[in-house]
Amino acid sequence: MITKFTIPELDQNELQERLSNARYPNELQDDYTGWKFGSPTWAVKDMVDYWKSGFSWEKSRDEINRWHHYQTPINDLNIHFIHEPSSQPSSIPLVLLHGWPSTFYEFHKIIEPLRDHPTQAFHVVVPSLPGYGFSEAPKKYGTGGVAAFADVTHQLMQKLGYHKYMIYGTDWGSAIGSRLAQDHPDHVLGYFTNMMIAGPPLPTLQNIFKHPLKVLKFMLSIVLGFGYIYGADFAPLANFSFANVEKYEGAAYRAIQGMRPYTLAYGLTDSPVGLLGWMLEPYHVWTFHTAEEETQNIPDTITRDEFLTQVTLYWLTNSMSSSIRIYYEAMREMGKAPKMDIRVPLGVCYFKNEAFKFPRDWIEASATKLIQFKTFSTGGHFPALEETDHLLGEIQRFGVAVSKQTHKSKDI
């Protein structure tokens, strides 16, 4: 059964009271720290003040409610999703998959343009991942990882009658999209992402036979340096550590969310200021700043209203604790997931401040049908908010290529 869903109201009085009575932490009183210790008080207070007196949840709620929202049971979970079918006859079903710390709202500027584009339109489906937003959280350990979320997504698309569909994924949505492409190649028309993750072309017998030059380049990168071989556009190898903060400080949040999510969750659940402060850091660090980064809390490309709509959705649904449990499950799934082997059409675009940018060589060794690859000198981890036009152009260009292939084979 699929039922209509309306975004609920917020208890403004409770939120205002909590924001007004917030206690702020003790900090060093010199100019050295900046953002090195995490979100500084001045940046959090500035955003809290706007949350109290400038932000309107009702305005955001009206915008969100203009789309068609639904809920449906899948694997004993009530899953929320947006469904915006296109009126264009050649439209392709497309599922947009968000990640953390985000919600379906990350895509608020691309839903209509994808649905209504005159050249290549899409039937747009935007689910809330289980445990995020208005989707029910997994109740048992072992049901909240990437493989389980991929299964929920596939069942949702089948339930909507989209037996073949295209995927765009970012952050955890990227990992879920990769799993969907591997598990359901007969149903996935194409997979597009801005955070493609791929392993190195190790000197195995298979890689030496199939990709000898790629293996040689990787071996040289160990000796001569990663940046020297692959270019400064790609992150150093240390950045790919999931939770080893000694190698990469940026993995700190993954370490605590992957090891002790319950302990962290008390502060994020009980305090809206704590929640905001925890979310503010990635929206500052993972994005591209055109102005002086140290003096900005978020870049000019993301508005305060957009950021606070995301934060308010987490607060309204009490979903921060359930959203971070995927890190715990993912850490324990490592080594158990199937070897990356994507055989559906793949498109990748990397933006400047994306932390996980892998060389094209690595991707081609894991995906046999990489048909689109591009890097940008601006943007970051949230391109649907930061670089909307560039992302739209890349998704639509990929959609045209997929459409040509699928119509030739009569797959749609």
- Catalytic residue, chosen from 230, 327, 328, 350, is 327
| CB contact burial 143-161 (16+ within 10 A = b; e otherwise) | bbbbbbbbbbbbebbeebe
The C-alpha atoms of residue 402 and residue 65 are separated, in whole angstroms, by: 31
171 is catalytic: yes
327 tagged catalytic: yes
Residue identified by tokens 């209504």 is 116
Active-site option among 80, 154, 184, 381:
381
CA–CA gap between residue 133 and residue 332 (Å, rounded) = 24
Q: Is 390 left (phi over 0), alpha (psi -120 to 50) or beta?
A: alpha
Tell me if 352 sits within 8 A of 376, measured CB to CB.
yes
Token pair belonging to 238: 């240390």
* CA distance linking residue 392 with residue 110, whole number of Å: 7
| Catalytic option among 154, 171, 283, 314 | 171
Active site residue 381: yes
Q: Where are the alpha helices (DSSP H) in 231-271?
A: 252-259, 261-270
Which residue, among 160, 150, 130, 192, has the nearest Cα to 319 in the 3D structure?
130
Q: How far is CA 160 from CA 53, 80, 356, in A?
A: 41, 13, 32
> What span, in angstroms and rounded, lies between the C-alpha atoms of 237 and 380?
19
Q: How far is CA 32 from the centre of its chain?
A: 31
Residues marked as catalytic: 171, 327, 381
